[in-house]
Amino acid sequence: MQGASRDALAALRAALSDSVGGTADPAALGRLSADLFAVVTVFATQTSLRRAVSDPATDADAKVALVDRLLAGKIGDVALDLVRRTARSRWSEPRDVVDALEAVAVEAALSHAEQDDQLDEVEDQLFRFERVVAAEPELRTALTDRNLPADRKQQLLHRLLDGKVAPVTLELLERAVLWPRGRTFERVLEEFLGVAAQRRSRVVARVTSAVPLSDDQQSRLAAAIAREFGSEVRLQVVVDSSLLGGLTVRVGDELIDASVVRQLDAAYRKLTGRSGGRSV
């Protein structure tokens, strides 16, 4: 997001924090996230609606009235207030409205997990399931097949995960599978995990290593990345022997590549004068 949309999202997050700060009612937080996700679905599927709500030429009161006609009595008061605030805000692009509401819905879900003392568990489960899907092509195909009915995908998730993950984990995985909104499954989970990291004022570093890293190596790597980015770091480590050696570290859109494969490719290009990589 850029400019006005970034500021509007920050204001929405602050409003969410003010609304739910200190609440000890996980059920209320669960209803709030469900309400917000339902609104995200409506806005994502109705182009004219998100354009109307984000149109800077339309009077804010008129946009709020539109929201009330559509949603009053159908979602809870806190969710409705957040959508009203969304309508009053200025947005750079209509799509940003949907992205912002989804981010706030994820935050509400994570607040629910936090009240249940399951926030760390939810983060770990999302990351582990993403790795399971990456390692099982048939499972990934089933979960991302646009021709497979949504209820079949939902049934598959429940068959795999009921009783094995936290309720919030399953809720977020269902969103990633059923409503990716043009993103890959992996990208959606990465964005959800980014929201979780931002809640804790830390960054997530996706580390891909040729060999498993010891606890000491992970601690030293996290400390080095923290110094670089000036923030607490949470590592997500993936082992990939195809790197041959070394590792890559990705923080957001920034990639730090220290893999042997990259070094060999660079040496190959230097020796041969070719722009492409070597064939393996």
- pLDDT above 60 for 277: no
Q: Which residue has the higher pLDDT, 195 or 169?
A: 169
Which residue among 149, 166, 200 closes a domain?
Answer: 200
pLDDT of residue 262: 66
Average pLDDT of the segment spanning 113-135? 90
Do 189 and 228 lie in one domain? The reply is: no
User: What confidence tens digit (pLDDT) does each residue in 207-244 have?
Assistant: 888 888 888 888 888 888 888 777 778 888 888 888 77
- For residue 207, what are the β-bridge partners? 237, 249
Q: CB-hemisphere CA count at 13 Å for 260?
A: 10
Residue count of the chain, please give it.
280
In this prediction, residue 151 carries a pLDDT of 94
DSSP 106-122: HHHHHHHHHHTT-HHHH
Please provide residue 2's backbone torsions phi and psi, each rounded to the nearest 5 degrees. Answer: -125, 155
Q: How confident is the model over 7-21, as a mean pLDDT? A: 88
Report which residue type is found at 112. H
Instruction: Give the lowest-confidence range in 3-7, 162-166, 253-257, 272-276.
Output: 272-276
Residue 216 lies in domain: 203-272
Same domain, 172 and 213: no
Residue 280, in any domain of the structure: no
CA distances from 222 to 82, 147, 189, 243, 263 (A): 36, 41, 21, 20, 23
Point out the domain boundary residue: 55, 89, 115: 115
Assess whether 165 and 210 both reside in one domain.
no
Predicted local distance difference test score (pLDDT) of residue 24: 59
SS3 category, 236: strand
Phi/psi zone of residue 201: left (φ > 0), alpha (ψ -120 to 50 degrees), beta?
A: left
pLDDT grade for 35, boundaries at 50, 70 and 90: very high
Which of 184, 200, 216 delimits the end of a domain? 200
Of the candidate ranges 23-27, 36-40, 250-254, the one whose mean pLDDT is the lowest: 23-27
- The structural domain count of the chain equals 3
Task: Identify whether 277 is part of a domain.
Answer: no
Is the per-residue pLDDT at 280 higher than 50? Answer: no
**Residue 85 and residue 54 share a domain:** yes
Lowest mean pLDDT segment, chosen from 155-164, 195-204, 234-243: 195-204
Q: Please give the pLDDT value at position 271.
A: 67
Stretch 166-175: mean pLDDT, rounded?
96
Q: What is the pLDDT of residue 230?
A: 78
Q: What are the DSSP calls for 117-160, one per residue?
A: T-HHHHHHHHHHHHHHHHH-HHHHHHHH-TTS-HHHHHHHHHHH
Q: What confidence tier does 278 reach under pLDDT thresholds 50, 70, 90?
A: very low
Range from 21-30, 126-135, 179-188, 218-227 carrying the lowest mean pLDDT:
21-30
My answer on whether 9 and 86 are in the same domain is yes
Lowest mean pLDDT among 18-27, 119-128, 191-200: 18-27
- Pairing type for strands 254-257 and 247-251 reads antiparallel
Quick check: 31 and 76 in contact, CB under 8 A? yes
SS3 of 33-45: the string is HHHHHHHHHHHHH
| pLDDT for position 275 | 53
